[in-house]
């Protein structure tokens, strides 16, 4: 039986009427950019996270870009970024004119290796970006304990971890100065197109973020700061509001799928994601094996989808490797050759999960 890596249509089919009535509300309102629907979602998402402010933008990359700009990052500054992340964490820093500096990852968690921070810090370091990769809340408190005394600001890239709980009980995205979210359709909280948000408890930062997303305007036609057009469309706000209501239940289902994988893959020579309860919302279920490419092929031959997040560590990407930094984060380079994301989405059936387990077991036990 084929099993897709992800199937976005199942949720849409199940809740079609709710989505269509949200769309109709926007059509009837005649307000298509920002406005009451986006404001209502901002309030709901801030309350869900326990954050004071939520500023919605047009995608997750924009959330990071606006966050770095709001913190005053620009040419001459350095932003520390974990070597295994989606390129946007680094790219948004480059867009401000700053330089992303890559820190290696911890091979067990795939999060930034706090032990490696001293190697990469310089007097120009202004920000360290913590990425809650794969949906697992990283240990922000430990990074803050390193960063705070140095006057370095922590930004959380929470694009993959909506609702994940940090070790101290706070939601991921609310412990650093600014938390950045993506609502790309495949994310745990996905829009029907592009979307993103930056959240913060700091009133002044929130005001700057709001200005940056609208051409730097603080009031109409008054531009006090540099900005651009990063505004969210009203359709996305209305639809995200509907999806937010089911986010916690979907995370629970993802954790139960992960538990089923964990039980079914016990004794198989693959490293499984850490078992950390509500710290993980399993945006992705990533296993690690030296035989990754052959396993991927074997699963494909059975019609089972899989993917690699990400096949090349950021410092090894041509756009950054041209700086002569390829290979400077060996754990990330090694992980990129060994990681494989198995099918994971809340609407997956247990039968499908068992099919994937059977596919992986048949590869190793053949
Ligand atoms: C870790 C991470 N950061 C940033 C982004 C960028 O978000 P977007 O695609 O919405 O611009 C993504 C998602 O693609 C991501 O996974």
Q: What is the pLDDT of residue 224?
A: 86
To the nearest 10°, report the CA torsion of 10, 12, 15, 21.
-170
- If you take atom 7 of ligand 1, which residue's CA is the nearest one? 60
Amino acid 356: pLDDT: 98
* Other Cβ atoms closer than 10 A to 190: 20
Partners of 199 in beta bridges = 54, 179
> Which residue owns the Cα nearest ligand 1 atom 12?
159
* pLDDT tens profile 122-174: 999 999 999 999 999 999 999 999 999 999 999 999 999 999 999 889 999 99
Three-state DSSP state, 133:
helix
How far apart are alpha carbons 91 and 314 in whole angstroms? 10
Q: Are 211 and 87 in contact (CB under 8 A)?
A: no
Does the domain at 247-365 match CATH 1.10.730.10? Answer given as no
Name the phi and psi angles at 247, rounded to 5.
Answer: -65, -45
Q: What is the pLDDT of residue 366?
A: 80
Ligand 1: centre distance to CA 40 (Å): 23
Q: Using CA atoms, how far apart are residues 93 and 99, in angstroms rounded to an integer?
A: 7
The DSSP result for 269-281, as a single string, is SSBPPP--GGGB-
How far apart, in whole angstroms, are the C-alpha atoms of residue 59 and residue 228? 13
Which ligand 1 atom is nearest residue 133's CA? 1
What SS3 state is found at 197? strand
Distance CA 304, CA 352 (A): 9
Q: Which atom of ligand 1 is the closest one to the Cα of 131?
A: 1
For helices 35-49 and 234-244, what crossing angle results, to 10°? Answer: 30
Identify any residues that bridge with 231 across adjacent strands, giving them in sequence order.
57
119-133 per-residue burial string, b: 16 or more CB within 10 A, e: under 16: ebbeeebbbbbbbbb
What is the share, in percent, of the chain residues with pLDDT greater than 90? Answer: 95
Instruction: Calculate mean pLDDT across residues 55-60.
Output: 98
Q: Whose CA is nearest to atom 8 of ligand 1?
A: 60
Convert the pLDDT of each residue in 309-345 to its tens digit: 999 999 999 999 888 999 999 999 999 999 999 999 9
The arithmetic mean of pLDDT across residues 202-223, rounded, is 94
Choice from 131, 182, 196 to test ligand 1 binding pocket (greatest atom count within 8 A of CB) = 182
Each domain of the chain, given as residue ranges in start order, spans 9-244, 247-365
Q: Is 205 helix (H, G, I), strand (E, B) or coil?
A: helix
Task: Establish whether residue 85 lines the binding site of ligand 1, counting it when its CB lies within 6 angstroms of any ligand atom.
Answer: yes
Helix (H, G, I), strand (E, B) or coil at 144: helix
Q: What is the DSSP string of 111-127?
A: SB-GGGHHHH--TTEEE
Q: What is the mean pLDDT of residues 286-298?
A: 98
What letter does residue 135 receive in the DSSP assignment? G
> Does ligand 1 have an atom closer than 6 angstroms to the CB of 236?
no
User: Which has more pLDDT, 306 or 221?
Assistant: 306
Q: What band does 186 get if pLDDT is binned at 50, 70 and 90? A: very high
Q: Are 182 and 195 in contact (CB under 8 A)?
A: yes
Half-sphere exposure of 236 (CA within 13 A, CB side): 23
Q: Rounded to the nearest whole angstrom, what is the distance from the C-alpha of residue 292 to the centroid of ligand 1?
A: 24
The class level of CATH for 9-244 reads alpha beta
pTM, two decimals, is 0.98
Judge contact between 98 and 74, C-beta under 8 A: yes
What the block records as the tokens of 39 is 């404001």
Q: Is 61 in the pocket of ligand 1 (CB under 6 A)?
A: yes
Q: How far is the CA of 286 from the centre of ligand 1 (A)?
A: 17
- Determine whether the shortest distance from the Cβ of 160 to ligand 1 is under 6 A: yes
Helices (H), the chain: 9-14, 16-29, 35-49, 60-70, 88-95, 117-120, 140-147, 203-213, 234-244, 247-264, 292-301, 318-320, 330-336, 350-365
Mean pLDDT of the chain: 97
Owner of token pair 């699963």: 299
């Amino acid at each position: 039986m084929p099993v897709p890596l992800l199937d976005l249509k199942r949720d849409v089919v199940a809740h079609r009427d709710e989505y269509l009535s949200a769309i109709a509300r926007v059509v009837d309102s005649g307000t298509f950019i920002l406005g009451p629907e986006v404001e209502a979602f901002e309030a709901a998402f801030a309350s869900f996270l326990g954050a004071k402010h939520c500023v919605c933008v047009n995608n997750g990359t924009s959330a990071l870009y606006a966050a770095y700009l709001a913190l005053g990052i620009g040419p001459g500054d350095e932003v520390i970024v974990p070597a295994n992340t989606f390129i946007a964490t680094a790219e948004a820093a480059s867009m401000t004119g700053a330089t992303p500096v890559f820190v290696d990852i911890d091979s067990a968690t795939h999060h930034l290796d706090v032990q490696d921070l001293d190697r990469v810090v310089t007097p120009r370091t202004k920000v360290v970006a913590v990425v809650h990769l794969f949906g697992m809340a990283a240990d922000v408190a430990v990074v803050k304990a390193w960063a705070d005394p140095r006057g370095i600001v922590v930004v959380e890239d929470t694009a993959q971890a909506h609702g994940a709980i940090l070790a101290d009980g706070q939601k991921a995205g609310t412990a650093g100065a600014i938390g950045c979210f993506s609502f790309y359709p495949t994310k745990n909280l996905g829009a029907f197109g592009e979307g993103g948000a930056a959240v913060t408890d700091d009133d002044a930062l929130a005001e700057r973020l709001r200005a940056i997303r609208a051409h730097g305007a603080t009031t109409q036609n008054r531009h006090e700061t540099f900005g651009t057009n990063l505004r969210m469309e009203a359709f996305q706000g209305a639809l995200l509001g509907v999806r937010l209501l089911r986010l916690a239940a979907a995370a629970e289902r993802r954790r139960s799928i992960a538990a089923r994988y964990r039980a079914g893959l016990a004794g198989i020579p693959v490293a499984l994601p850490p078992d950390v309860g509500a710290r993980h919302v399993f945006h992705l279920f990533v296993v690690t094996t030296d035989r990754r490419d052959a396993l991927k092929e074997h699963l494909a031959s059975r019609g089972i989808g899989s993917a690699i997040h990400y096949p090349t560590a950021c410092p090894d990407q041509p756009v950054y490797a041209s700086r002569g930094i390829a290979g400077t984060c060996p754990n990330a380079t090694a992980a990129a050759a060994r990681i494989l994301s198995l099918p994971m989405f809340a609407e997956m059936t247990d039968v499908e999960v068992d099919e994937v387990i059977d596919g992986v077991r048949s590869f190793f036990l053949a």
